[in-house]
Amino acid sequence: RAMELIAASRIVRAQARVEAARPYSEQITHVIANLTGGGSELKSPLLLPREVHRVAYVVIAGDRGLSGAYNTSVIRTAERALQAQVAQGRGYALVLVGRKAEAYFRFRDYKIDASFTGFTDEPHYENAKEVAGAIVGSFEAGEYDRVELAYTQFLSAGRQQVVLSTLMP
């Protein structure tokens, strides 16, 4: 019962943070889509399409369990997508956020390029910047030709949806 009460109080705080960040996230995504699709003369290597030889998967999961299918769903979705790329003869890279993702892929002997743990309960801008720096640097260096982001989108306390989207280019 005590664990249930603690979880309930945490989810209320987490819901408030998600709702506060959602308008910003949606608007910045909309602005970037308009810039890239509007025929502007941007020549950023982050936006230019390439022939795909190696796909990086950024898998965002939690550091702890007891969360139902939250971690399992996103990990399995990323693994299926990764296996589909390998079946097509492409290489892969794994950039993992959260202990659950790291433990899953390490136990199954997948090659892990980078792993970030210990902050999924209360992530800060600096944590996101660190993860993004690792991804962008490798993409610009040509180590990755495409970057896919796998995460769980919060819809409500009882409903989450796994999202697999192209981050770069």
What pLDDT digit, counting tens, does each position of 21-70 carry? 777 777 777 776 676 666 555 566 766 777 889 999 999 988 877 666 77
For residues 17 and 106, give the distance between their C-alpha atoms in angstroms, rounded to a whole number. Answer: 31
For residues 30 and 114, give the distance between their C-alpha atoms in angstroms, rounded to a whole number. Answer: 29
For residues 98 and 118, give the distance between their C-alpha atoms in angstroms, rounded to a whole number. Answer: 7
Q: pLDDT, tens digit, for every residue of 59-114?
A: 998 887 766 677 888 999 999 999 999 999 999 999 999 899 999 999 999 999 99
For residues 155 and 141, give the distance between their C-alpha atoms in angstroms, rounded to a whole number. Answer: 36
CB distance 144 to 168 below 8 Å: yes
DSSP 8-state secondary structure symbol assigned to residue 27: H
pTM of the model: 0.77
Strands (E) across 1-157 are located at 54-60, 91-97, 114-116, 146-156
DSSP-based three-state secondary structure for 113: coil
The residues, ordered by sequence, that sit 6+ positions from 42 with a Cβ below 8 Å of its Cβ are 35, 36
pLDDT mean over 146-163? 82
